[in-house]
Structure formats: structure tokens, C-alpha cells
A = this chain, B = another copy of it.
């Protein structure tokens, strides 16, 4: 067993619970720090200084900066996309509407949109296996989830059936990601929701007028 600070005196079970709590606390502090100040150039050391946690403690819970970034984003997303795509998705809500709602929530916390930009850029470069794995699996999971809803809509006759649900799922996710980057750079000129709404013409929700 490692000799970190989390397990010196207490029983193993109690120290495990304390460790989990401490780790969550660090993630919550990091979410706030990134939301306020962005992530660029943040090393484990500078983050530790910002949230008042020693470098040794951070290293005890997160082996690398990439691992911390991934866990922070994962924790944030469980409150966001998880909310939008909880299974089952609300009756009559389209996948486009769900992505737009998620983008709306993100727009209140630009620091986390920036964190996502960092993660997905790192993921496609060499030398970031943790980010690469996380972002690839996230895309796969989201595509599968959206495709399932699209297929259900196609089967119900609410969505045109002459295209592959997977192609449309990739498109909706890509549009949402790309629009958020343009919006960060030009918040007055780019309206994520209005542009995404155009996709409703391809993928109308159950309540959409399809005439």
C-alpha cells in the first residue's frame, strides 16, 4: 500500500471513505477554479496553490494533470449532459433540443467550455493517453445514445428514415462542439441555440410540425 496521507491512523474502510470525500472536494474546488480562471497553463502545482491543497496531496489523488482535468470535466458533465440525456429522455424532446439545453448550461460557465476545448485538443495529439481515452469514449457513448433516440424517432415516423442514425448523431454532437468554440470567440455574433435549431429540420422532435 502507498504511504499517502489518506491512510495513516484510521481503519482501512474509514480512510477509504475519507479519501473519496477528499478527492471529491478537490474536484469541486478545481471546477470552481477552472470556471473562474480557465485551465490553460494550469499545472498541478499552480492549481494546488489556487485551491489551497499541497502538491503532494494532489499527486496522491491524481497521477497527472491530464487525469485531474478529465475527472473535473467528468464531474461537471454528470451535472450537465447527464441531465440532458438521462435515460429515458423526456418524451417529445428532440436530441437537438437536448444538446441545445446542454450548450445553454455550458454558456453560463465559459471556463468549462475552455476546459473541454483543452481536453479535446489534447486528445488528438500524441502523448495524452488519458485525455484521448476519455474523449474517445465520451464521443462513442454520446453517439450511441443520440443514435438510439434518433432510431426510435425514425421507427415512430417522427424522423425521416432515409439516413443512418449514427451519421446524424455525429453531426449533432460536432455542431454543438464547434458552435461553442465560435461562440466563445464571438458571443455577440454566434447564437449556439439558433444555429443548432436549424438541425431540427433534419431531426424534428415529436412535437415539431413536420408538414
Contacts and interface: CB of A to CB of B under 8 A. Distances in A.
Interface size class of A (residues with CB under 8 A): 35 or more
Given A113-B124, A125-B38, A177 B181 contact: yes
A194 B167 contact: yes
Given A174-B178, A175-B178, A196-B171, A185 B40 contact: no
Interface in A34-51: 37-41
Contacts of A191: 167
A198 B202 contact: yes
How many copies of this chain does one complex carry? Answer: 2
B198 A201 contact: no
B194 A164 contact: yes
A121 B123 contact: no
28 contacts: A38-B126, A40-B122, A40-B125, A40-B127, A41-B127, A117-B124, A117-B125, A118-B121, A120-B121, A120-B181, A121-B121, A121-B122, A123-B185, A124-B181, A132-B185, A136-B185, A139-B186, A140-B189, A163-B198, A170-B179, A170-B190, A173-B182, A174-B174, A174-B179, A174-B182, A175-B178, A176-B178, A177-B178
Interface of A: 37-41, 113-114, 117-118, 120-128, 132, 135-136, 139-140, 143, 163-164, 166-168, 170-171, 173-179, 181-182, 184-186, 189-191, 194-196, 198-199, 201-202
- A-B pairs with lowest CB-CB distance, top 3: A174-B178, A40-B125, A121-B121
